[in-house]
Amino acid sequence: MLEDNSEQKEVPEATKVQPEWTAVRVAALIALWNEGLPTSEIGRRLDVTKNSVVGKVHRLGLTKRESPIQKKVVEKKPIAKVVRLESLNAGMCSWPDGEPGEEDFRFCGEPIVEGKPYCLHHCERAYVKPSKERRGSAAA
């Protein structure tokens, strides 16, 4: 009597055969796309990968949607005044702007946050709290 050692092994995602895009599946894709579902959810419902959904949407020419990943927009304030080192006083933001030694080198000059050398905008840039991920790797 032979033993049956044939265990079901997980097939890597890259080697799985993707199902065919039938007319029914394409119609479902279009309906789910128009509902605004994320590509990963559409893929899960149709039993295909997210990348299959993205590729088919592109080939079908469906309307593009904005990325769900929001990019942080940093508004750059126009520098209204030129504050040189000679005119920098206590209570003025000492954030440098430009290249030292160049003609247009200056300091911010806005009112500072109490106990800090910078204004609120530059404190947000200068004093970044470490993320949990960074703290964990730094301790290792």
Residue 81 and residue 83: Cα distance in Å, rounded?
Answer: 6
Q: Which domains does the chain carry?
A: 18-60 (1.10.10), 85-139 (no CATH)
Q: Copy the structure tokens of residue 89.
A: 């006083």
Alpha helix stretches (DSSP H) within the chain: 23-35, 39-46, 50-60, 120-126, 132-139
Section 63-73 average pLDDT: 76
Section 110-125 average pLDDT: 91
Section 4-32 average pLDDT: 74
Q: Are strands 96-97 and 106-107 parallel, antiparallel or unpaired?
A: antiparallel
Q: Which has more pLDDT, 26 or 17?
A: 26
- Report the candidate in 80, 79, 106 with the shortest Cα–Cα distance to residue 95: 106
